[in-house]
Amino acid sequence: MNVVAKTETGRALGDTFALVCDRLPGKGKISDQRRQAFDAYERLGLPHRRIEDWKYTDLRALMREVLPLAPAPDAAALKRAAAAAKSRAIDGVRRLVLVDGTFAPALSDLGKLEKGLSIRALSEVLETGDGALSAQAFASDNSNPMIALNGAMATDGVVVEIADGTVLSRPLQIVHVASGTTPAAMFTRSLLRLGRDVGATLVESYLAADGVKAYQAHDALVVAIGDNARLDHVRLVEDTVDAFNISSATVSLGAHAHLNTFGMTTGGHVSRYQLTVAFAGEGSKVETNGVNLIKGTQHADTTLFMDHAVPDCTSREIFRAVVDGRAHSVFQGRIIVRPDAQKTDAKMMTRALLLSDEAEADNKPELEIFADDVTCGHGATTGALDESLLFYMRARGLPEKEAQALLIQAFVGEAIETIVNDDLREVAISTAQRWLEARA
């Protein structure tokens, strides 16, 4: 039995939950679920290296404590958030802004919704008592302590429903903005439901207003993709250099559905993204791609779990990490093929590029196969920039940093090119270029 002694930090968080639980949205069953989730978190505590899934990301050492819950944003906070969101505006998207864990309609684009598209604040759904949506939003595995904590403390988020046969002409963008002037924690949870034959693109952006420091972002996304539907998903994490970002996504795929997802982490002191994909319908496909661009003392963890439970499904994972200074990149990719999942085709490949002698990259690909008619494989490499290529480019007049930048861009390009939307691909390229320019 894993018995966790309650520390001063644990007592403080328990006191915080006791103070805010009656003010969190949702009553009745939701309140009971919150209490159960917090009890699960208290039993487990912050994850540590003795838990296999958290072996390389010991939050007891890296984060140490969970900050107090952020207050609802006031007018000044909203003004700071608006300026931050504008600085990373993307043309042609429908923007949905969460400020310090609270949905901000005034900063969001809610006008002229396309037919078949519904957007509501999670707090509104919980308060109005929509039992089915509330249950789906809060259906999560409390064995993961950080997901359990998110379920207990979530203040708001967005609930997006897309009706059968709807193909959105504009991408949706959820913008998470930290705007508080004192260190605090934000807990958000969003629900995305795609009906049959739906086509949609979702962008998630994490950023902060000028001068904001030392915050914690705890986010969860619950996605249901219907039969023959497609979702393209892009995540851009540009938090401040002393922020913590602990995010999770849970995706359920119907039959012949398609998920294409790309994530890029350039910001945050410590970040962890954990994605779980459940193949619930035959003939579905998942393409998961990611890039870590980190430096200094940053720690960035991407943990993926593909659960192949039905036949004739395909998954592909491509991950790239560029690590400078004393930064630490982690990739954990687990593929499980269950006995009934015959004809599964699953592959993953992770590559890390170390730019300094003190940089570290831990790659842990895993396969668990319980079916006999499958095609599965994985690979991992770690190395430095090719010195012969650098010499070749410098011999032709390129400065060293510029030559390195060109090689880094080529290294991460394979993952970035999987973004289908041209405008979003350019946004990802620009994000990478900002990181390269800051490194120089």
> What Cα–Cα distance (Å) separates residue 122 from each residue in 27, 33, 96, 133, 273?
13, 15, 12, 9, 21
Token pair listed for 39 = 């009890």
Residues 6+ apart with CB under 8 A from 40: 142, 143, 145, 148
Q: In terms of Cα–Cα distance, which of 190, 187, 191, 165 is closest to 178?
A: 187
**pLDDT confidence of residue 145:** 93
Write out the two tokens for 314.
Answer: 């395909």
Which pair of structure tokens corresponds to residue 413?
A: 């390009």
CB 236 within 8 A of CB 262: no
Ramachandran sector of residue 335 (left: φ over 0; alpha: ψ -120 to 50; beta: rest): beta
Are the C-beta atoms of 203 and 424 separated by less than 8 Å? yes
- Beta strands 158-162 and 185-194, pairing class: parallel
The two tokens of residue 15 are 């006191």
Q: What is the rounded CA–CA span in Å between residue 119 and residue 111?
A: 11
Q: Residue type at 373?
A: D
Question: Over the stretch 345-361, which tens digit does the pLDDT of each residue have?
Answer: 999 999 999 999 999 99
Q: Is 363 helix (H, G, I), strand (E, B) or coil?
A: strand
- pLDDT for the residue numbered 133: 81
H or E element: which one contains 46? none
φ/ψ (deg, to 5) at 44: -90, -40
DSSP states of 92-156: T-EEEEEETTEE-GGGS--SSPPTTEEEEEHHHHHHHT-HHHHHHHT---TTSHHHHHHHHH--B
The pLDDT, as a whole number, for residue 3 is 34
**Separation of alpha carbons 428 and 436, rounded Å:** 13
One-letter amino acid for residue 226 of the chain? G
User: How much is the pTM?
Assistant: 0.93
| C-alpha torsion sign, points 424, 427, 431, 436 | positive
Q: Please name every residue paired with 353 in a beta bridge, in sequence order, or none if there are none.
A: 322, 383
The tens digit of pLDDT for each residue in 203-241 reads: 999 999 999 989 999 999 999 999 999 999 999 999 999
Q: Phi first, then psi: what are they for 56, rounded to 5°?
A: -100, -5
Helix (H) or strand (E) holding 44: helix 29-44
Of the candidates 351, 386, 389, 345, which has an alpha carbon nearest to the alpha carbon of residue 367?
Answer: 345
Which residue numbers in the chain have pLDDT < 70?
1-12, 140, 440
Closest C-alpha to 327, from 435, 234, 404: 435
Helix 8-20 / helix 145-153 crossing angle, nearest 10 deg: 30
Residue 140 pLDDT: 67
**Dist CA 125 CA 61 (whole Å):** 37
| CA distance linking residue 148 with residue 189, whole number of Å | 12
Burial 56-81 (b: 16+ CB within 10 A, else e): bbbbbebbebbbbbbeebeeebbebb
Q: Which three-class secondary structure state does DSSP give residue 10?
A: helix
The pLDDT, as a whole number, for residue 5 is 39
Beta bridge partners of 350: 319, 380
Q: Can you give the pLDDT at residue 1?
A: 31
What is the distance of C-alpha 379 from the center of its chain? 23
How far is it, in rounded angstroms, from Cα 14 to Cα 332? Answer: 31
Bridge partners of 68, per DSSP, are none
pLDDT value, residue 440: 64
Predicted pLDDT at 257: 98
Domain chopping of the chain, boundaries: 8-281, 386-439
